[in-house]
Amino acid sequence: MIPVTIFAGGKLAVVGAGLSGLATARALQAGGANVVVWDDNDAGRRQAVDAGLSVEDLEHADFNQFAALVLAPGIPFTHPHPHWSVIKARAAGIEVIGDVELFFRARAASNVPSNVVAITGTNGKSTTTALTAHLLEAAGKDVALGGNIGKAVLDLEHFEPGRIYVLELSSYQIDLTPSLKPDAAALLNITPDHLDRHGSLAAYADVKARIFAQLEPNATAVIGVDDEPSQAIAETLQGPFSVKRIAIGRTVQNGVWAADATLIEMAGGQEVGRADLAGIGSLRGAHNWQNAAAAYALARSQGIDAKALQESLRRFGGLAHRMEQVARAGKILFVNDSKATNADAAGKALGSFEDIYWIAGGVAKDGGLSGLEPFYPRIARAYLIGDAAAAFSSQFGNAVPHVICESLERAVEQAADDASRSKAPEPVVLLSPACASFDQYANFGKRGDAFRDLVMQRTDVTRATG
């Protein structure tokens, strides 16, 4: 835990008693603050009570007594309309911040020389964050990994000289962190997502760009330039810091570009290093080349030798629910990409394989499957589940052979049976839903776990490696 002492003796309101909210309350208490917690849901309030925290109905509290409101990132800050606690805080003239803001203020107050590497983007940020931490650890660095992945940021180990904090940051977290000042920062990509929480794509991009707003001399900005919003942000990046661009299929002057499963590091238009990704199952596909290129650039920003990175990349096992190779049944590969909750993310997986038996569906995002048409020739058959099944069937029409299965269990069974008759060298049963999970599962992790369990219950499978 990182005790937050900057509010010692003061009283703070924490709204949201999930993972980050509880960690925030504990860290503030450990730093000497008087903390009261509220959650709009009974389950959250029970969690706070079970954790020994003071729970108070803040909807009827006087916010003038508080030094600040610490808001959990999942609670609306601006759009579609501010949460009632935000309205009360603004009326009382107190600041509204998040747990990552407390982390950066605590770090500044500690005067301990530690580094922060921060990573954001619409897609790929979890893989990039985990890979960056892996590369740094493999090089012998003292690394703490957290934020929007794994541990809440204030549950990480306390500040120590030389420690590197590798943080995944969502747009919600950045929006609540006015003091965001990493030593290296990466923005991978921007595609339409969370627009209900930010109002427009332009506003969403503006929030993402704040990860670079306060970089100091000797800091590094790593930015993907393969989408228009990110490219536009890259053109504005000027300052005393270094800028490393990331691209797929085209060279860059300074940064890392990737082609044919190879990373090429460039400086001043000259190649200065490279790494081979061929055969690394956890980094399969062009989208993972982008993730690997960003992680490579971030590792280099922390002084890691380029030659040392090749073997470290090969030892990366990947993340659950993100192009996770679950098992094989003969030549059939079963892949769990449950994290693909929108069409753009599903397209990354579809572009990584050839003979695909695709399980898709759930709660569809705006546009449904729009944009995935170029991948249709790769799909041998689709198996549609959940609320979106009928709508997806209409979108496919006759373009993709498909069947409405409704349940994941039936989809896995039918997809495996069909794949067993394929003449392709590696037919792939792919769960990449292009949808949220809430119609059938509590979250994408539960959906992915269910897929994994259904696959491993089959008598003909062996667990995949790599």
Select from 37, 67, 97 the last residue of a domain: 97
Q: Structurally, how many domains does the chain consist of?
A: 3
User: Which of 3, 92, 82, 13 shows the shortest CA–CA distance to 48?
Assistant: 13
Within a domain: residue 174? Answer: yes
Question: Do residues 391 and 459 share a domain?
Answer: yes
Phi and psi at 228, nearest 5°, equal -60, -45
Question: Do residues 306 and 328 share a domain?
Answer: no
Question: Do residues 307 and 416 share a domain?
Answer: no
Select from 97, 117, 140 the last residue of a domain: 97
Within a domain: residue 86? Answer: yes
Within a domain: residue 319? Answer: no
**280 CB neighbour count, 10 Å cutoff:** 18
User: Which of 308, 283, 282, 328 shows the shortest CA–CA distance to 426?
Assistant: 328
CA distances from 268 to 44, 244, 256 (A): 52, 11, 12
Sheet order of strands, 115-120 included = 143-147, 164-168, 115-120, 184-187, 220-224, 242-248, 255-259, 262-267, 270-276
Structural tokens at position 225: 């330039």
Question: Do residues 352 and 410 share a domain?
Answer: yes
The Cβ-side half-sphere exposure at 129, using a 13 Å CA radius, reads 27
The amino acid at residue 53 is L
Within a domain: residue 191? Answer: yes
Note the pLDDT of residue 80: 84
Within a domain: residue 1? Answer: no
Contacts of 204 (CB under 8 A, 6+ apart): 171, 190, 192, 193, 194, 195, 198
Domain containing residue 114: CATH number: 3.40.1190.10
Within a domain: residue 382? Answer: yes
User: Which of 354, 419, 411 shows the shortest CA–CA distance to 388?
Assistant: 411
Largest CA distance in the chain: 70
Ramachandran region, residue 249 (left: φ > 0; alpha: ψ -120 to 50; beta: rest): left
Note the pLDDT of residue 197: 66
3-state secondary structure the chain: CCCCCCCCCCEEEEECCCHHHHHHHHHHHHCCCEEEEECCCHHHHHHHHHCCCCECCHHHCCHHHCCEEEECCCCCCCCCCCCHHHHHHHHHCCEEECHHHHHHHHHHHHCCCCEEEEEECCCCHHHHHHHHHHHHHHCCCCEEEEECCCECHHHCCCCCCCCEEEEECCHHHHHCCCCCCCCEEEECCCCCCCHHHHCCHHHHHHHHHHHHCCCCCCCEEEEECCCHHHHHHHHHCCCCCEEEEEEECCCCCCEEEEECCEEEEEECCEEEEEEECCCCHHHCCHHHHHHHHHHHHHHHHCCCCHHHHHHHHHCCCCECCECEEEEEECCEEEEECCCCCCHHHHHHHHCCCCCEEEEEECEECCCCCCCCHHHHHHEEEEEEECCCHHHHHHHHCCCCCEEEEECHHHHHHHHHHHHCCCCCCCCEEEECCCEECCCCCCCHHHHHHHHHHHHHCCCCCEECCC
**Which residues constitute the domain of residue 443?**
324-463
Q: Which parts of the chain sit beneath pLDDT 50?
A: none
CA dist 228 and 201 (Å) reads 11
Note the pLDDT of residue 264: 98
Question: Do residues 379 and 295 share a domain?
Answer: no
Question: Do residues 453 and 361 share a domain?
Answer: yes
The per-residue pLDDT for range 241-296, each reduced to its tens digit, is 999 999 999 999 999 999 999 999 999 999 999 999 998 988 988 889 999 999 99
Question: Do residues 117 and 244 share a domain?
Answer: yes
Query: Given the DSSP bridges, would you call strands 332-336 and 402-406 parallel, antiparallel or unpaired?
Result: unpaired
Question: Do residues 132 and 263 share a domain?
Answer: yes
Domain containing residue 459: CATH number: 3.90.190.20
Domain containing residue 93: CATH number: 3.40.50.720
Within a domain: residue 3? Answer: no
Q: C-alpha angle with apex 84: 78 to 86, nearest 5 degrees?
A: 50
Question: Do residues 124 and 148 share a domain?
Answer: yes
Question: Do residues 236 and 284 share a domain?
Answer: yes
Question: Do residues 153 and 283 share a domain?
Answer: yes
Question: Do residues 166 and 190 share a domain?
Answer: yes
Structural tokens at position 353: 């394989």
CA dist 313 and 134 (Å) reads 8
Contacts of 154 (CB under 8 A, 6+ apart): 1, 2, 4, 20, 23, 24, 26, 27, 99, 102, 103, 106
Note the pLDDT of residue 196: 63
Select from 285, 314, 343 the last residue of a domain: 314
Within a domain: residue 4? Answer: no
Note the pLDDT of residue 366: 87
The per-residue pLDDT for range 65-123, each reduced to its tens digit, is 999 999 999 898 887 889 999 999 999 999 999 999 999 999 999 999 999 999 999 88
> Residues for the chain: how many in total?
466
